[in-house]
Structure 1
Amino acid sequence: MDLINKNAYTYDTYFTTDAAVNQAVVATYAGLLHTGLWAREWYYTFDLLGYDAKNNQPLVGDLLQLAQYNFGADQNQVGQTWAALYQIIARANVVIDRAQTSWKPATPAETTDQTQYIAEAKLLRAYAYFQLVNLYGRVPLRTKFIQQPTPAEINLARSPVADVWAFIEQDLKDAEAGLPLTYSSDNYGRATQGVAVALLGKSYLYEKKWALAQTELAKLTKAPFSYSLAPVYNDLFDDPNQDNTTKNPETIFQVMNQQWTDWGIGNQYYLFGGQETWGGKATHSGRAQEYGFNDWNNTLVTTTAVKAFTYPNPQNPSVNYVDPRAAFTFYGDAASGGQTEYCQQCAPPKPGVSPVIAYPYATKGYAWLKYEYYNKMASFGGPQSGINGQVIRYADVLLMLAESYIQQGNTGAEPLALINQVRSRPSVKATLYTSLGSQANAMSILMRERQLELTGEQSRYFDLIRWGIAKQTINAERKIEDGTQPFQDKNILLPIPLAEKNSNSAIAKDVSGDWN
């Protein structure tokens, strides 16, 4: 009974080759598409909480609780997101430790790979902590792989927010130094140096370190980086074009559905909890099916979000202007600016008959176009969308850079040009601003630009929280649209999950009011 099975892998015997460590890195990326993150819960949680989306009647009970801000520490999505982010951290810690301890690179090429793998792990670890600190505030900092943790290491107390941010910054600086600018096509989707720069700049912005954010984000606008806006807005949310740097030079970091050459759909229902058990290497999102008006139709675009696309003309404020991005974001009536037709690329039912079909619910509500397939098919038929999730794209960076200027009191040529650059995308060609005016006016313009450009990309919730206007904004919007004011002061942070309190005595003692 005491004999050692020499055929069994251990932490010391498995991670001894380039291939094995690479597998561990890929497994760390895989966490992005687990329950609680981009497979399903992420888009529901933050589209609903940010009030880009609202529930349609079919929305199931636990998601309805999110839509109504009627949730607590036992909410599935709250716990699943926490667990998925810490799973990424745990795997990243294994990579960082084993790549330096168990594996001894034998060639210069392997030494280069070692640097890259460690940098990728630090980037993913920083991404996870970035989400944790913004969502939950003080969280345990688990910074290293521990094969046999002590009770004190298991019951780790929460660290101050400042310490978590400092750890994120250092990881991203290390990642920036160790990541390549580009990869070969078979590794498209892995984190590049640009991802580290963008996330570090975003971290500085969230910390209100405006000058540092400006310096970091500005790097992405010049050599050696070559990002630019995708000429066709919808190429960012359409599967054939997302993995094509010619058509889509805008993506900086995306969660790749069907990312690796030997990965595929697997079991189409894996997103409901079957990661790494159903169908092997399954990797996709359910968003197209779940949000689709001609499929499950679980959510609608809020009337508030739709109305934001109509505002005073930037060059003639006395008349209203309908932003062209409406037609790329939602289906609706002509007055709203929404797309009024679908199936533009569907096969004609018979020769000579146009495949274009009128959107059938224009008088009933506004449905999602972004991340949908309805330009090509009338109904998708299953929750296995291969459309990638945009995490950070160049338009977002340009607007964050503009904000960093404005927050420092600069409302002149630099931020004006950045905002107008986003508005002048060839497929959009929105009317340009001639000036931004006062700092307060410039921030109002910037806030609207972020809302319109990033609708349905899980950005607005985080923006409202960091700007300190979430409660007043969401309650005002909800009061008009559905007569409720659900956002409470405690909703600035998510509750610490019940499962974590039950398993970590240090956290259980630290939680106030059964929330955070």
Structure 2
Amino acid sequence: MKRNKLYTYLIVGALAMSSCGKEFLQKLPQGELSEPQVGNKEGVEGSLLGAYSILNGNVSGTWGNYASAPSQWLFGEVASDNAHKGSEGGDQPYMANIESYKATSVNDNLSTMWQVYYEGILRCNNTLKLLAADQSGAKEITEERAKQIQGETKMLRAHYYFYLWRIFKKIPYLDENTTADQALTIGNDVDVLPKIEEDLRFALANLSEEKYNNDAGRMNKRAAQAYLGKVLLYNKKYPEALTLFNAVMAGTDLSSMPFWNNFDVTKENGPEALVVSKHAISSNGNPENGNVGDMLSGLSGTAPVNCCGFYQPTIDLVNAYKVDANGLPLLDNYRSNPYVSDFGLPEIQKENYELNVDLAFDPRLDYTVGRRGVQYLDWGIMAGDSWIREVVTGGPFVGIKTMVPKTLFGVQTAPGEYYITGLDVNIIRLADVYLMAAECEIEAGSLANALKLVNAVRARAATLAPKKAESGVNAAKYNVKPYPSFPDKNFALKAVRFERRLELAMEGHRFFDLVRWGIAKTTLESYSAFEGGIIPTYKNLVFNTNNEYWPIPQEELDRNSNLKPN
């Protein structure tokens, strides 16, 4: 973490006057300025933009920020039953240790996560200090705008702390009154969750529905309601969380918000986007403000994007999309007679492989996973092994949600680096809120209300256009129907948890959901038995309670003797 420095961004008139465009967070070169130089309106607003910029998990450059990606693909998905590390077995071995629950305090992914998000916290604290200096002096900033800046800043700080809390749990708390010397001595023996909640409550009380300057990436009241509700849900404060979720959902119609718009770079800033990491490729091709966190999930080999082959969906996830004759998930037996595409076939059979278009799947499968023989964006038919870096360890499937169409290469991608895109990442979207609200309704005993919310998500899924096979016919017998009823609480919980997996797969939620539900050990060891029976790399994984969060980075322990290791 950088200390004793104030990093901010210089603002030009066009940036200050931006509306809904991605220019809101396009960075100019960083400069180190003393506080008197930025202790004015322009400096405070610039410092706030600097705090926002950490939403994309990047301080500078492009390579090396994968662990701090806003999608949390490494900790939220690769550590779960949804995704493999991918690439080659020996590539990024510290990521493999995250996947196999063997990470130690010297794992560089942990250091990246810690340092980037504490940089975000530092920028938030600096913004609040600069604002306080203005309000006690020249008062260039109106009282109304000052409250908004505090609300935006404290919500950002809450987000950065929440991401750190989910991964490390025991972390030191630094606020705007913490000096640089104190920061090196504060311990991690106090739960920071109440402080996160406090910041979000402040944001909720002081932010309006309208986003400042109409900037799409700004925090507003609705975003604060959704985020505070999520934190309360993690803390099992279901009634209050439900009240907030209901406020977010009021007057919404999920069926009017196409599922794929959440992953279409040309359809961003829609009504489903609540808390978003904004990304952009600068007009001069500079990719630093792009989606650098997800860049490794570019495909490999002969694929139109041929770097870097990480982040592959699991066989277990793909089979979770199977449905019965009534269009309902196979909650308890989706692993029976597993579908593995062409994995493990002899070479001659691979060459002659034909997609089985008679299998019954939820259509969200082919908008989440690329599988051989099925249309992939506008890239053509997914070719199988030749698009995958190392099939024997990563499996036969690839992800879709992080890529953009070929027709947008060079416009929404870095020049010659098509794996760095301008695609935004949803941190919280409306369907997520629907399903969190359904959990709260179940805990309140309102199974009928929970049923309506889950079925609203499923009804939208039913409107997805069929993906085509190489032969030109539909790539599956697509079918997704509403649940007729939730007969009891246990069934309802199983259904809503399964629905979160289907709807939000490869979006960074899964591992954290399993932990907060208290089912991580049973789920992940069961997954290991299944997946390891097909790909031996994943056999005999052992998950213990202390694997629910990760070690404090060793360099932080060395720097601060008051930090206690997990």
Measured against the shorter chain, the TM-score band is: 0.7 to 0.9
1:52 aligned partner: 82
> Does 2:553 match 1:497?
yes
Q: Which residue of 2 aligns with 1:430?
A: 480
Q: Which structure 2 residues correspond to residues 156-175 of structure 1 after superposition, within 5 A?
A: 156-161=186-191, 164-175=192-203
Q: Distance in 2 between matches of 1:130 and 1:474?
A: 23
Partner of 2:489: 439
Whether 1:63 and 2:95 are equivalent positions in the alignment is yes
| SS state at 1:28 partner | helix
Query: What is the identity, as a one-letter code, of the residue corresponding to 2:550?
Result: L
CA contact (8 A) 1:286 1:385 kept: no
Q: 1:343 to 1:493 in 2, by over 3 A?
A: closer
> Which of 412, 418, 421 does residue 456 from structure 2 map onto?
421
Report the counterpart of residue 21 of structure 1 in structure 2: 44
Q: Distance in 2 between matches of 1:190 and 1:489?
A: 37
Structure 1: how far apart are the matches of 2:108 and 2:70? 12
Q: Which residue of 2 aligns with 1:5?
A: none
The answer to whether the 8 Å contact 2:276/2:424 transfers is yes
Matched, 1:287 2:294: yes
Give the TM-score, by structure 2 length. 0.75
1:456 paired to 2:509 = no
Q: Give the corresponding residue for 1:304.
A: 316
Match of 2:370 in 1: 331
* Contact 1:238 1:371 survives alignment (8 Å): no
1:129-208 to structure 2, matched below 5 A, reads 129-150=161-182, 153-161=183-191, 164-183=192-211, 187-208=215-236
Deviation at 1:24, TM superposition (A): 0.7
Q: Residues 155-206 of structure 1, C-alpha deviation per residue, up to 9 Å, x if partnerless?
A: 1111433xx2211111111101122212367621111111111111001110
Q: CA deviation at 1:313?
A: 5.0
Cα pair distance change 1:229/1:28, threshold 3 Å: farther
CA distance in 1, matches of 2:106, 2:70: 18
Residues in 2 aligned to 1:467 and 1:38: alpha-carbon distance in whole angstroms: 24
CA distance in 2: counterparts of 1:290 and 1:442, whole angstroms: 34
Tell me by how many angstroms 1:402 deviates: 0.5
Does structure 1 conserve the Cα–Cα contact (< 8 Å) formed by 2:47 and 2:123? yes
Distance change >3 Å, CA 90–CA 14, structure 1 → 2:
same
Contact 2:297 2:399 in 1 (8 A): no
Aligned twin of 2:119: 87
Letter in 2 for 1:236: N
CA distance in structure 1 between the aligned counterparts of 2:165 and 2:218, rounded to whole angstroms: 24
> Number of paired residues?
460
User: Partner amino acid for 1:366?
Assistant: F
CA distance 1:378–1:283, shift in 2 (3 Å): closer
Q: Which of 258, 277, 280 is residue 280 of structure 2 equivalent to?
A: 258
Q: 1:408 aligns with which of 444, 448, 462?
A: 444
Name the CA shift for 1:283/1:117 in 2 (closer, same or farther; >3 Å).
Answer: farther
CA contact (8 A) 1:38 1:255 kept: no
Q: CA deviation at 1:373?
A: 1.9
Alpha-carbon contact 2:66-2:293 (below 8 Å) kept: no
Deviations 1:443-478 (A, max 9, x none): 000010000000000100100010111111111111
Given the alignment of the two structures, is residue 218 of structure 1 paired with residue 246 of structure 2, yes or no? yes
Displaced runs of 4 or more, over 6 A? 105-109, 315-320, 377-380
Q: Within 2, Cα distance between the matches of 1:378 and 1:18?
A: 38
Letter matched to residue 219 of structure 1: A
Change (3 A) 1:230 1:98: farther
SS of residue in 2 equivalent to 1:360: coil
Q: Contact between 2:321 and 2:329, CA under 8 Å: does it hold in 1? A: no
Measure how far apart 1:64 and its partner are.
2.4
CA distance in 1, matches of 2:153, 2:253: 23
Specify the alignment match of 1:10 in structure 2.
Answer: 34
Q: Is the 8 A contact 2:68 2:116 kept in 1?
A: no
- Which stretch has the larger CA shift, 170-179 or 314-323? 314-323
Contact 1:15 1:102 in 2 (8 A): no
- Once residues 154 and 107 of structure 1 are traced to their aligned partners in structure 2, the CA distance between those partners, rounded to angstroms, is 32
